[in-house]
Amino acid sequence: MLACIIGALFLTGTSAIAQSAPQVARPAGPGQSSSPAAQSDPRRPEIQPDLTQDRDPVPSPDAEVVAAAPANANTPARAGELQKGQNGIYTLHENVDEVLLNCTVIDEKGRPVEGLTQSDFRVWEDNVPQRVSSFRFQDSPVSIGLLIDNSGSMLDKRTAVNSATMNLLRQSNRQDTAFVVNFNDRAFLDQGPTTDLVALNRGLSHFDSRGTTALYDAVAASADELSKHAKFTKQVLLIVSDGADNASHLSEQEAIRRVQNLAGPVVYSIGLLYDSDQREYQRAHEALQTLSDDTGGIAYFPRSLDEVNTIASEVAQDIRNQYTVGYHSTRAASLGGYRVIHVEAYSPKRGKLIVRTRHGYYAKPSSSKSGKIDQTAQSAPPPDQQP
């Protein structure tokens, strides 16, 4: 990997993403000598870091510390209550538990279907019909995590893979943000979220293919990175790998659950398995297929490196042609548990339609948060004074 590595990331004692970056000199603090002699003097007590600070290069999933509200802060509004803010804007607070599904619809020939309306969709959760409450079909920007295998077997493939990945980014929405994770037995965040194609290309070029493959750890760590730092609610992970996982602390099912528990991203996979032996092929094929199927993505298995560039273009187009369907579950989020989702689309003139979306999600009892919806313009009168 790079010669200068800042440190290890997160994953609750399992995997980590370490962030590569040049080292920078830090000014000496109060009472500290900045001279080399003073710093290396064995007679001086070692200066210990402040352990109350999270020094991970990418924040770990530690419990968030809620800052105490100032004494003069407004009392939080109850659900359904309209409250005036300091800026004069009246805000309605509601508990929002909307499940959002990114859905790709294709016909029997595999062609994308456009022009559907909200009434064309049906949603079931645990076999119970749900009412579609929101609907959108537009080229919305997306937050993308690029996970590129950096194990020893990828050495001769990285140039073509990097070129295809850059092709995908060029064909994506210009507002999309992406980060780059190169992984072998560890996962390294070689470029944080950005829209800068030059920076992303530089991050993809930070590879030194060697070691083993901790795919599941890299997936879980990257999903966690998206959940904390993604700019957009629509999220995607693209995995490019040429072999089965042989180094992760997490199992396949644990990685999938981690993604689902984060209300997670759609996973697209490109498995470069054309030169693998039969046993390796079966293990890697099943893992990548399951990761994609369970999250609403697609797994591709090209027959040669020559096909990767075309596949990257297909992924870019698939991401940009999705319906977003939302509903409020008839089962309270406070009950928790895993919910199975099934979505169908009907359009008599288009024949049989196939909807691809995630298979389910884990409801979080603590997921209900106050959603703020501006109801009136600034300096508007209170409700009881409105005509």
Q: How far apart are CA 318 and CA 69, in angstroms?
A: 44
Range with lowest mean pLDDT among 77-91, 186-200, 287-301: 77-91
pLDDT over threshold 50, residue 12: no
pLDDT over threshold 50, residue 245: yes
What pTM does this model have?
0.71
Q: What is the mean pLDDT of residues 301-320?
A: 96
Q: What is the mean pLDDT of residues 372-379?
A: 28
3-state secondary structure 220-238: HHHHHHHHHHCCCCCEEEE
Q: What is the mean pLDDT of residues 153-160?
A: 95
Q: What is the mean pLDDT of residues 123-131?
A: 97
Instruction: Look at residue 295 in the predicted model and tell me its pLDDT.
Output: 92
Instruction: Look at residue 207 in the predicted model and tell me its pLDDT.
Output: 87
Instruction: Look at residue 1 in the predicted model and tell me its pLDDT.
Output: 41
Domain positions in the chain: 82-95+370-385, 98-138+323-367, 143-320
- Most trustworthy range by pLDDT among 60-74, 115-129, 263-277: 115-129
pLDDT over threshold 60, residue 143: yes
Instruction: Look at residue 64 in the predicted model and tell me its pLDDT.
Output: 39
Nearest CA among 172, 180, 175, 178 for reference residue 230? 178
Q: What is the mean pLDDT of residues 7-20?
A: 44
* pLDDT tens, position by position, 225-234: 999 999 999 9
Q: How far apart are CA 367 and CA 340, in angstroms?
A: 18
Range with lowest mean pLDDT among 15-24, 41-50, 136-145: 15-24
Instruction: Look at residue 208 in the predicted model and tell me its pLDDT.
Output: 87
Q: How far apart are CA 316 and CA 148, in angstroms?
A: 16
The torsion of the CA quartet 147, 152, 157, 158, rounded to 10 degrees, works out to: 50
Could you tell me the CA-to-CA distances from 165 to 152, 205, 311, 364, 385 in Å, in that order?
Answer: 19, 11, 10, 34, 57
Instruction: Please check whether residue 151 is in contact with residue 248, taking contact to mean a CB–CB distance below 8 angstroms.
Output: no
Average pLDDT, the chain: 78
Q: How far apart are CA 145 and CA 176, in angstroms?
A: 11
Could you tell me the CA-to-CA distances from 213 to 125, 224, 237, 244 in Å, in that order?
Answer: 36, 19, 17, 7
DSSP 3-state of 143: strand
- Which numeric CATH code is attached to 143-320? 3.40.50.410
Q: What is the mean pLDDT of residues 122-130?
A: 98
pLDDT over threshold 50, residue 56: no
pLDDT over threshold 50, residue 66: no
Nearest CA among 179, 226, 300 for reference residue 59? 226
pLDDT over threshold 80, residue 209: yes
What residues pair up with 237 in beta bridges, in sequence order?
145, 267
pLDDT over threshold 70, residue 300: yes
Range with lowest mean pLDDT among 8-17, 190-199, 249-258, 294-303: 8-17
Report residue 41's pLDDT band, with 50, 70 and 90 as the boundaries: low
Q: How far apart are CA 303 and CA 223, in angstroms?
A: 28
Q: How far apart are CA 79 and CA 124, in angstroms?
A: 27
- Most trustworthy range by pLDDT among 18-27, 41-50, 93-102, 292-301: 292-301
Q: What is the mean pLDDT of residues 223-245?
A: 95
pLDDT over threshold 70, residue 175: yes
Report residue 34's pLDDT band, with 50, 70 and 90 as the boundaries: very low
Instruction: Look at residue 244 in the predicted model and tell me its pLDDT.
Output: 95
Strand order in the sheet with 177-183: 17-19, 187-194, 177-183, 143-149, 235-241, 266-271, 299-300
Name the one residue in this structure whose structure tokens are 């070691």: 211
Nearest CA among 336, 314, 335, 326 for reference residue 261? 336
* pLDDT tens, position by position, 79-124: 444 555 555 555 444 445 789 999 999 999 989 999 999 999 999 9
